[in-house]
Chains A and B, each alone.
Chain A
Amino acid sequence: MNEPRLDADGEMLCLNGVTKTFNLHNQGERTIPVVTGVNLKLNAGECMALMGSSGSGKSTLIRMIYGNYGCAAGEILIREEDGSWTDLAQADPREVIRLRRHRLGYVSQFLRVIPRVATIDVVSEPMRLAGASDSESRNRAAELLTRLNLPEALWDLSPTTFSGGEQQRVNIARGFVHPYPALLLDEPTASLDKVNRQVVLDLILEARDRGAAILGIFHDHEAREAVCNRFLDVEEFKAAA
């Protein structure tokens, strides 16, 4: 998928007919239809909120775009640096990894901690993997951890023993350390106090201003209104059970 398929200039992400059903082979061959025929277009500089009740498929959609869940039908097109488009639904593992390194960031709902790796390294890693030097990455990581009010005394420790809110701030710093052109956020402000929630909202707005295309899930109504300029109700694509 290398010829440009869309003409509009600022388009970053484009979903056509995206469908997801889980087939549970060991539970009586049960199938769980989640969404059918999701279409969406997202431009650089936009932040779109995915809305819908619990279980409607918001996280599933985000994980499909990140390549963490497979996509059985439809296209998930992401814009490459040279303007061409790649279909993540068809991409092989190596391509998904390349896109995750350079084009597509993801802040999951919870940090997956790796024992013994220092916080500063957890946070700076994505920037190093994207090609920045050790010192540049560490400086940027330090800057973000400072903004997120994570005490410097914790930077050399593994986040294993951190509180839920501290882990989430590490997770957010990690997600924002490299300036990805597209960013996926799954409840980034959950479990944060007011001060830190505002820092995260500022980070999102700054990312939008530099032209990132952002797709996010925000349970908190105020947060959503503060940063999103587009809204999509996932229930529209509810699959027939």
Chain B
Amino acid sequence: MSELLRVENLTKSYGRQRGCTDVSFELWPGEVLAIVGESGSGKTTLLNCCAGRLAPTGGSVVYETRHKGLIDIHGMSEPERRFLMRTDWAFVHQNPRDGLRMNVSAGANVGERLMAVGARNYGNIRNAALDWLSRTEVDPDRIDDLPTTFSGGMQQRLQIARNLVSGPRLVFMDEPTGGLDVSVQARLLDMLRDLVDRLGLSAVVVTHDLAVARMLSTRLMVMQQGRVVETGLTDRVLDDPQHAYTQLLVSSVLQP
């Protein structure tokens, strides 16, 4: 086994404003990496650069493509990168409205992703949509309803169904349980954990919730002011934190 994604010395600045600085990590198939840190520490910036949604100022993001081996995603042509994002990758936004099309039905939201990778048979697409709605615990009877009629938790699960239906290898998630109430969060988390486990997906998950990181990830990266200050096995970083900032983060919550 070897790496699926390799990020080297990644830096992104917004003019004089710092986004993230000199971040490096590797992700192997089947691994889940969580990124935690205070607001403004550069988590979303880093995730967007890794997922090809934002051009870095420096450094590289190299991805093991199915057919051509390791390729720097920011050196690809725009259509190539878009194709990769549609087929191999998925991106789950914190706000489901950013990841869904709100003016088409739930079924169409899921089906669209399949059509983007070449599916044409209407019956098959509808069946796949039904299957994924039930796997993400959205009542299949709601397949023809608009996402605007869904609760926040249902919208988030629909966004996940839309993302996973096309069989991605790598999933990026930005605060997937943010903005949901606690019981809905638990349900979503359990579902994500199970899906990642059963499908053998690799994932990079940004969260400010240490309990979410503990439940979903095997490795953890702690960011402060744009830099990675500590990284390692998730349970070790949380139970025996070394850096002053990580110790502060861990001690300010109950039993992460």
Interface residues of A (CB under 8 A from B): 22-26, 63, 67-70, 93-94, 96-97, 114-117
Smallest CB–CB gap between A47 and chain B, Å?
25
What is the total of A-B residue contacts with beta carbons within 8 Å?
Answer: 46
Smallest CB–CB gap between B251 and chain A, Å?
7
In the bound complex, residues from chain B placing their C-beta under 8 Å from that of A93 are: 218-219, 232-233, 236
In the bound complex, residues from chain B placing their C-beta under 8 Å from that of A25 are: 243-244, 247
B233 and A26 contacting across the interface, CB-CB below 8 Å? no
Give me 30 A-to-B residue pairs in the complex whose CB atoms sit less than 8 angstroms apart, sorted by A's number. A22-B240, A23-B242, A24-B247, A25-B243, A25-B244, A26-B247, A67-B233, A68-B235, A68-B236, A68-B239, A68-B240, A69-B236, A70-B242, A93-B218, A93-B219, A93-B232, A93-B233, A93-B236, A94-B31, A96-B233, A96-B236, A97-B218, A97-B233, A114-B190, A114-B193, A115-B186, A115-B187, A115-B189, A115-B190, A117-B190
A63 and B186 contacting across the interface, CB-CB below 8 Å? no
Kindly state the separation between the CA atoms of A114 and B216 in the bound complex, as whole angstroms: 11
B244 and A94 contacting across the interface, CB-CB below 8 Å? no
What is the chain A residue whose CB lies nearest that of B215? A114
A70 and B247 contacting across the interface, CB-CB below 8 Å? no
In the bound complex, residues from chain A placing their C-beta under 8 Å from that of B218 are: 93, 97
What is the chain A residue whose CB lies nearest that of B187? A116
What is the chain B residue whose CB lies nearest that of A95? B233
B186 and A116 contacting across the interface, CB-CB below 8 Å? yes
Interface residues of B (CB under 8 A from A): 28, 31, 186-187, 189-190, 193, 215, 218-219, 232-233, 235-236, 239-240, 242-244, 247-248, 251
In the bound complex, residues from chain A placing their C-beta under 8 Å from that of B244 are: 25-26
In the bound complex, residues from chain B placing their C-beta under 8 Å from that of A114 are: 190, 193, 215
A69 and B190 contacting across the interface, CB-CB below 8 Å? no
In the bound complex, residues from chain B placing their C-beta under 8 Å from that of A97 are: 218, 233
In the bound complex, residues from chain A placing their C-beta under 8 Å from that of B248 are: 26
In the bound complex, residues from chain A placing their C-beta under 8 Å from that of B193 are: 114
In the bound complex, residues from chain A placing their C-beta under 8 Å from that of B219 are: 93
In the bound complex, residues from chain B placing their C-beta under 8 Å from that of A69 are: 236, 239-240
Kindly state the separation between the CA atoms of A69 and B189 in the bound complex, as whole angstroms: 26
Instruction: Choose among B219, B240, B243, B247 the residue with the greatest number of A CB atoms under 10 Å from its CB.
Output: B240
Kindly state the separation between the CA atoms of A26 and B244 in the bound complex, as whole angstroms: 6
Given contacts A26-B244, A67-B236, 15 further A-B contacts (CB under 8 A): A22-B240, A23-B242, A24-B247, A25-B243, A25-B247, A68-B235, A68-B239, A68-B240, A70-B236, A93-B236, A96-B233, A114-B190, A115-B189, A116-B187, A117-B190
In the bound complex, residues from chain B placing their C-beta under 8 Å from that of A117 are: 190
